[in-house]
Each structure stands twice: as C-alpha cells, then as structure tokens.
Amino acid sequence: MYIADRLVYVELQKTGCTHIGKLLAQVIPGEQIGKHNKPDAALLAQRQVFVGSVRNPWAWYVSLWAYGCQQEGMLHQALTHRCGSPRGLGWRADPAYALRRWLHSFTQDSRSWQELYGDVQNVEAFRTWLQYLHQWPRRWDSGEHFARHACCRSVGLMTYRYLDFFCRGSFSTISDLEGLKLFNKEHNYIGYMIRTEQLEQDFLAMLVALQVPVSDEQRLLILGGGRSNASRGKRTAWQEYYDQTSIELVAQRDQLIIERYGYAPPLL
C-alpha cells in the first residue's frame, strides 16, 4: 500500500500499481508499506479516503499469465512448486487452511502448470491456463483462500481478488452473483477507483476531487503515460489470446467487474 495523510492506495495485482505508486509519490508525500497487501481494521478506521485500481478482466488475465511466463509472481510460484512446509502458508493465522493447502500440493500437477508458462506467445497455452485456473478440481492450486469461498464455483480469480482487497468483512458464504453484487455495494470501501485503461485521466480526476494542487510539470509527468513492471514479450494486442470459449468464460466469471465498470469483450 501507498500510505499518505490524504489517502491510502490499495494495490490490486496487475492493474498498473507500480506506475500509480510512482505518480502518487510525485504529488502526495507518503510511504510505500508492503506490496499488494490489504489495510487492517485499524487503518480502515483511521483513514477516510481509499484509492484502488481495476482493469478490463480479459486484459488482466493475459497480463497475469504473461508475468508468470517470466517465472515471476506469487501465483506462478504457487502453481508450479510444491509447498515445502505448512508453516510458510500462514500457519499461525489459519493452521487448518495451511495444512489443507500443503497436503493438496502433493497431488497438484505442477509440471503441467509449468508447461503452460513456457512460451508467452502461445495463445493455446494461455487459453488452457485460463480454463485450468477456474476448474473446480484445481481450486486449491493457486494457493489462495479462494478455494474456501462458496463463490469459487461461479466467479473468476479476478473477481475474488477484487472483493477480497476492496471490501470490508467476509463473503466466504456467499455463492450467488446477486449476493456478491450486494456485498460489494454495501462493503466496498474504495472512494476513488482508477481504471488502468484511462489511468492518467482517472488519476487527475482523483486529485481534483481531493483538491490536491498539481503543477504544470506534474501534470505533464502524469499525462506522459508509460507503465512500470509490465509483462514482457507478449503479443502486441492482448485480444489476440482469446477465442470465443475463453471470452465467454471471463464474461461469465467476472461479470461483477465487467458490469460495474462497463468493460467490453475483445472482438474476434
């Protein structure tokens, strides 16, 4: 998180977090505390303004997979390596989960996952990876608490992370989409959401709303674009990775985000 007096920026993976953090540091003095971590109850009570970022789900999955093709990221690590010990899986906080995840890792097909990360240009590998990621028998592979949520049969990994990062309270027993939409409406604490596709415009609009002064030099810096920590080597257009089946999978699984932010599927 990027924590400043004026706001707290909570970073959802692969939504331009590194770049947004650098821009924030240019205009609002603060401190980077951790990476992709969530505010605790004390911080939620102390601060009034929280900022998040979101991305077109179809583009998000391509970016997440391509990052793994660089042999990087916690998801890649969880999918392709057996857990050495339950103590490294949050044993103190939740020993039941840590033990369950550790035992599952002995039967997890890590080699198949590694093969799917072999070539960032391989569209078939991406499509298979996307299918695997949302298959019920593989729900424990990702090493996340997603597997323990009733919604893991019906929503995508991105929707799970979105709700987990940006909402107060637990949604572990909610299985239906309408229930999740209501939970998000009532418990989402983000005051300003930056969409990756129009990052600069949303960032500036947030500063205006918070009455943060911006110099001409800072404005030019913000509008200069560019991204940090981008996945390397993938095809020019993320749309190229999709076929009709994979488009429909994301449309079904991440409907909550797609509807909330008006995202459109890629055109074949």
Q: Going edge to edge, which strands form the sheet with 2-4? A: 30-32, 2-4, 8-9, 50-54, 192-195
Residue 61, in any domain of the structure: yes
Range of the domain at 207: 2-261
Distance of CA 106 to the CA centre of its chain: 27
Residue 65, in any domain of the structure: yes
Residue 154, in any domain of the structure: yes
Residue 268, in any domain of the structure: no
3-state secondary structure at position 204: helix
- The pLDDT score that the predictor gives to residue 221 is 87
pLDDT in tens, the chain (268 residues): 999 988 999 999 999 999 999 999 999 999 999 989 999 999 999 878 999 999 999 999 999 999 999 999 999 998 998 775 556 666 667 788 778 887 888 888 999 999 999 999 999 999 999 999 999 999 999 888 899 999 999 999 999 999 999 999 999 999 999 999 999 999 999 999 999 999 999 999 999 999 999 999 999 989 986 666 566 667 679 999 999 999 999 999 999 999 999 999 999 8
Reported as half-sphere exposure (CB side, CA atoms, 13 A), residue 173 has a value of 1
Tell me how far apart the alpha carbons of residues 105 and 140 are, in angstroms, rounded to a whole number: 8
- The pLDDT score that the predictor gives to residue 75 is 94
- Pair of tokens at residue 250: 């994301």
Residue 57, in any domain of the structure: yes
Tell me how far apart the alpha carbons of residues 165 and 15 are, in angstroms, rounded to a whole number: 13
- The pLDDT score that the predictor gives to residue 88 is 60
Task: Look up the CATH number of the domain holding residue 198.
Answer: 3.40.50
Residue 266, in any domain of the structure: no
Residue 58, in any domain of the structure: yes
Q: How many domains does the chain have?
A: 1
Residue 190, in any domain of the structure: yes
